[in-house]
């Protein structure tokens, strides 16, 4: 198949390697095509090559990237989906399949025009493996491959076909999720990152700085776990209020991390090997450390994560005091914010919401 990967970062490179290794005709749409020589590979922790393949082309030209693509796989941040949707709508075929990983962040609404004209839109719940670039355009370190992937599509009737394609590329068992809203509601980074940031920086204001900051995961604490679990419970309340959407795949983070209590959650998150050494997003100033407000933890996980869950709660008529508290703290920070709004996608009430997601 002719596959275009959008983005040459961690996950984009990982996808490009696996697609090329399986013999597909792969193009990478990237702002840095000059960094590519055609050969890509993944390595393990020891630096040993585990997968490799030859891509056909890396380009920054959207016409070249999308005009013949049968599958477009988007690995860019949620903040870029609105812009990308317009570019892809203009340059791609109406029978192309458009996918995104991870599947939350409101991308399905950004691509509503594509869906309405006949494009299949699908999402993968979480990334296939943890990926970190070693050399852009050449090598990515991929570790911790999942034992199972979950895929949903709009329209839902196309989900099985999409799942079979994903499974054939990664050789990972891929399960169909009955409704795309399961991906939109997945309480991964929109809960995990936002509650931790609120706990660490809850007292921050303009002019305040810190001598030191805890490691984001490795020094996770009970206060972070308590807020995480409280917000996670509210996500489950929303799911229960929307039975028509079959939201059984919106797994509680307590189940995902096998941690039913605050103490168990703290122990689990702080001991995950892949999270070791990851720092809290911050910037060094003359007076000390301040939060990095341009980090995707801020720019995506609130405005294209938690705010989406909050709006769905409003459609469902569910009270979310803990999520409200986290969002209120974020909105109190004086930075320029782009925020996903269902209303900008033509979804203004529960009836319109149901028509879109139940197709």
pLDDT tens-place string over residues 314-324 = 999 999 999 99
CB neighbour list of residue 294: distance below 8 Å, 6 or more residues apart: none
- Strand 71-74 and strand 57-59: the pairing is unpaired
CA gap 171, 8 in Å, rounded: 22
The angle at the Cα of 339, spanning 335 to 342, to the nearest 5 degrees, equals 165
CATH topology of domain 189-357: 1.10.1040
Torsion of CA 232, 237, 240, 244, to 10 degrees: -80
- The pLDDT score that the predictor gives to residue 359 is 83
For 210-261, give the DSSP string: BS----TTTT--HHHHHHHHHHHHHHHHHHHT-GGG-GGGS--HHHHTT--S
Ranges of beta strands (E only) in 276-342 are: 282-285, 288-291
CATH architecture type of domain 2-180? 3-Layer(aba) Sandwich (3.40)
CA gap 306, 190 in Å, rounded: 5
For the chain, the structural domain boundaries read 2-180, 189-357
CB neighbour list of residue 319: distance below 8 Å, 6 or more residues apart: 313
- The pLDDT score that the predictor gives to residue 121 is 97
- The pLDDT score that the predictor gives to residue 79 is 86
- The pLDDT score that the predictor gives to residue 193 is 96
The number of helix segments (H) and strand segments (E) in the chain equals 15, 14
Question: How many percent of the chain have pLDDT more than 70?
Answer: 100
- The pLDDT score that the predictor gives to residue 188 is 85
With beta carbons less than 8 A apart as the criterion, state whether 194 and 232 touch: no
Q: How far is CA 246 from CA 172, 183, 214, 315, 320, in A?
A: 24, 12, 39, 16, 21
CA gap 153, 157 in Å, rounded: 8
Same topology between domain 2-180 and domain 189-357: no
Residues of the chain with pLDDT under 50: none
Classify residue 56 as exposed, middle or buried by CB count within 10 Å of its CB (0-12, 13-18, 19+). Answer: middle
């Amino acid at each position: 198949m002719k596959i275009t990967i959008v983005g040459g970062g961690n996950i984009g490179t990982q996808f490009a390697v696996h697609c090329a290794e399986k013999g597909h005709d792969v193009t990478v749409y990237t702002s840095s095509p000059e960094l590519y020589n055609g050969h890509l590979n993944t390595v393990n922790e020891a630096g040993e090559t585990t997968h490799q393949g030859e891509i056909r082309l890396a380009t920054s030209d959207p016409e070249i990237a999308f005009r013949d693509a049968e599958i477009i796989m988007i690995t860019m941040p949620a903040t870029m989906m609105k812009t990308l949707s317009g570019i892809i709508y203009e340059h791609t075929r109406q029978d192309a399949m458009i996918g995104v990983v991870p599947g939350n962040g409101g991308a399905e609404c950004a691509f509503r025009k594509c869906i309405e004209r006949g494009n299949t839109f699908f999402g993968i719940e979480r990334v296939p493996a943890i990926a970190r670039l070693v050399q852009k355009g050449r090598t990515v370190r991929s570790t911790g491959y999942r034992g199972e992937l979950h895929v949903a599509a709009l329209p839902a009737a196309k989900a099985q076909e999409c799942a079979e394609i994903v499974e054939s590329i990664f050789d990972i068992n891929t399960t169909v999720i009955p409704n795309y809203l399961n991906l939109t509601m997945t309480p991964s980074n929109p809960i995990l990152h936002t509650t931790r940031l609120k706990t660490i920086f809850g007292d921050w204001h303009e002019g305040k700085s810190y001598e030191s900051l805890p490691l984001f995961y490795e020094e996770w604490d009970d206060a972070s776990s308590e807020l995480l679990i409280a917000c996670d419970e509210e996500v489950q309340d929303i799911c229960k209020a929307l039975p028509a959407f079959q939201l059984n795949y919106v797994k509680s983070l307590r189940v995902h991390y096998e941690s039913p209590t605050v103490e168990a959650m703290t122990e689990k998150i702080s001991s995950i090997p892949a999270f070791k050494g990851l720092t809290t997003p911050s910037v060094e100033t003359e007076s000390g450390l301040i939060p990095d407000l341009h980090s995707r933890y801020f720019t995506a996980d609130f405005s294209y994560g938690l705010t989406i869950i909050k709006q769905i709660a409003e459609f469902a008529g569910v009270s979310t005091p803990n999520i409200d508290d986290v969002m209120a703290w974020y909105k109190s920070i004086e930075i320029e914010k782009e925020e996903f709004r269902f209303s900008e996608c033509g979804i203004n009430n529960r009836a319109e919401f149901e028509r879109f997601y139940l197709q």
